[in-house]
Amino acid sequence: MDTIEKLKMLSEDSQYDLACACGTARDDHRKRGLDGKWLYPVTLPQGGYSILLKTLLSNACGNDCKYCPLRSESNVRRCTLQPEEVASMFMEYVRKKKVFGLFLSSGVMNSADYTMDRINAVARLLRYKHQFKGYIHLKIIPGASDAAIEDSVSLASAVSLNIETPGKKRFDLLSNKKDYLKDIVRPLKLMSRLTDRGTRFSRVKCTSQFIVGASDETDSEIIDYMFRFYRRLKFQRIYFSAYQKGLGHPDIPGEKNLLSGPEEIFMREHRLYQVDFLVRKYGFEPGDILTDADGNLRLDKDPKELWACSHPELYPVRINTADRESLLRVPGLGPATVKSMLKQRREGPIARLEDLGLKGKRLEKIRPYVICE
């Protein structure tokens, strides 16, 4: 295959790692380019969106991750790009102003450090040969050495390593080769230390991702680990990728999941994203996230509305006098709307919710929880 054919295949296979394209807004979703490659949106620091080229360096993999369609035992067509091919193709995209940055991952070729050396070689070519100063997101390979991880951090704008599951017990159901503490937890802690505030690489962002539903974890376990990422490791984002039945080994719990249809499975992913947003943007604490007796989020009601229903004494909220924190606890009101409300209040009282530009289902969701005076 030539470079274009390989890039098409590897870009297609990179869809199984959704760490750059999990959002609820229309602009958050990946798009396929005219030549078949997946292009992913990223939020720019100054606001707005641009496009990220996302690909694997290789889909050949020696690991046995039982949820992954590219695991070693799978009968799929394999190919590998050379670092020079990736760097040259990416810079062609940059020159044509088709992309903003690069997200690069790979299957495990030979060993974790051999693969990291190839991934880092792409970044090094871009930084030093092509003088590319823009966004590069590099995936850390499970089991990589400290030196390989530090090399990636020195070259990247962002790094990530999938935690996959909350805890060793759940993880061991998905892999017989990888060691949870040595190959996953140790590198995550090192990434945190290397990029901590005041360190040489503090500008580099760290993210991770859960494969939701491949093992037999509960939502409350995932949420507990999510808080640890934000509070202890100071990671910038946590992502969630719903396991899709039929892609993995038939013996894993995800293939026997009682959530029968894809709509339920993706709704579970969506609820976890809502919780993540409540934690990052609304100041929700662990005790604010309500789960059922089995430790799972309800699929029929969003977690913010569920919290509001459990605290009737706090409602209705007075639109014209309530503080920011109280307004943020109103179902349907987000940070941008609350900011607009506070600004409008300085100019005069708000007489109607419609004056805020609210309408439709969102307006009806808000109405029972507020009062305008």
Q: What is the mean pLDDT of residues 362-373?
A: 91
* Under 8 Å between Cβ of 74 and 27: no
pLDDT, greater one: 3 or 190: 190
Which pair of tokens denotes residue 149? 């991880």
Superfamily of domain 3-255: Aldolase class I (3.20.20.70)
Report residue 46: phi and psi, to 5°. Answer: -90, 5
- Name the CATH architecture for the domain at 311-371: Orthogonal Bundle (1.10)
How far apart are alpha carbons 169 and 180 in whole angstroms?
9
Beta-bridge partner residues of 55:
104
Judge whether 3-255 and 311-371 match in fold: no
Specify the residue for token string 């419609």.
354
pLDDT at 23: 42
Beta-carbon contacts of residue 242 (< 8 Å; ≥ 6 apart): 212, 213, 265, 266, 268, 269
Distance between CA atoms of 243 and 210, rounded to whole angstroms?
A: 10
Tokens 């051999």 belong to residue: 114
Q: Does the structure show a pLDDT above 70 at 18?
A: no
Q: Tell me how crowded residue 121 is: count the other CB atoms within 10 A of its CB.
A: 18
Lowest mean pLDDT among 149-153, 319-323, 351-355: 351-355
pLDDT at 3: 78
pLDDT over 60 at 373, yes or no: yes
Residue with tokens 């020696």, as numbered in its chain? 62
By C-alpha distance, which of 174, 154, 151, 150 is closest to 162?
174
What is the average pLDDT value for the chain, to the nearest integer? 88
N-terminal to C-terminal alpha carbon distance within the chain: 69
Which CB contacts under 8 angstroms, 24+ apart, belong to 151-154?
A: 151/116, 151/120, 152/116, 152/119, 152/120, 152/123, 153/191, 153/194, 153/195, 153/201, 153/204, 154/201
Tokens coding 246: 């039929």
CB atoms within 10 A of CB 292: 12
Q: Which of 50, 167, 55, 45 is nearest to 118 (CA)?
A: 55
pLDDT tens digits, 218-258:
999 999 999 999 999 999 999 998 887 888 888 899 888 76
Nearest to 356 by CA among 348, 185, 154: 348
37, with CB counted inside 10 A (0-12, 13-18, 19+), is: buried
| Minimum mean pLDDT range among 99-103, 160-164, 272-276 | 99-103
Residue 290 binned pLDDT confidence (cut-offs 50, 70, 90) = very high
The answer to whether residue 285 scores a pLDDT higher than 60 is yes
**Short-list 3, 76, 78, CA closest to 37:** 3
- List strand residue ranges (DSSP E) for the chain, in order: 31-32, 38-43, 49-56, 101-105, 135-139, 158-160, 205-212, 237-242, 317-318, 370-371
The H or E element containing residue 53 is strand 49-56
- The pLDDT assigned to 14 comes to 67
pLDDT > 50? residue 46: no
Distance CA 349, CA 56 (A): 54
How far apart CA 180 and CA 168 sit, in angstroms, is 6
pLDDT band at 276 (very low <50, low <70, confident <90, very high): very high
Domain extent listing, the chain: 3-255, 311-371
Residue 21 pLDDT grade (very low, low, confident, very high; cuts 50, 70, 90): very low
Top-confidence residue, 44 or 338: 338
- pLDDT for residue 272: 96
Q: How confident is the model at residue 157 (pLDDT cuts 50, 70, 90)?
A: very high
Least confident of 16-25, 113-122, 182-191, 274-283: 16-25
Close Cβ partners of 227 (under 8 Å, ≥ 6 residues apart): 279, 286
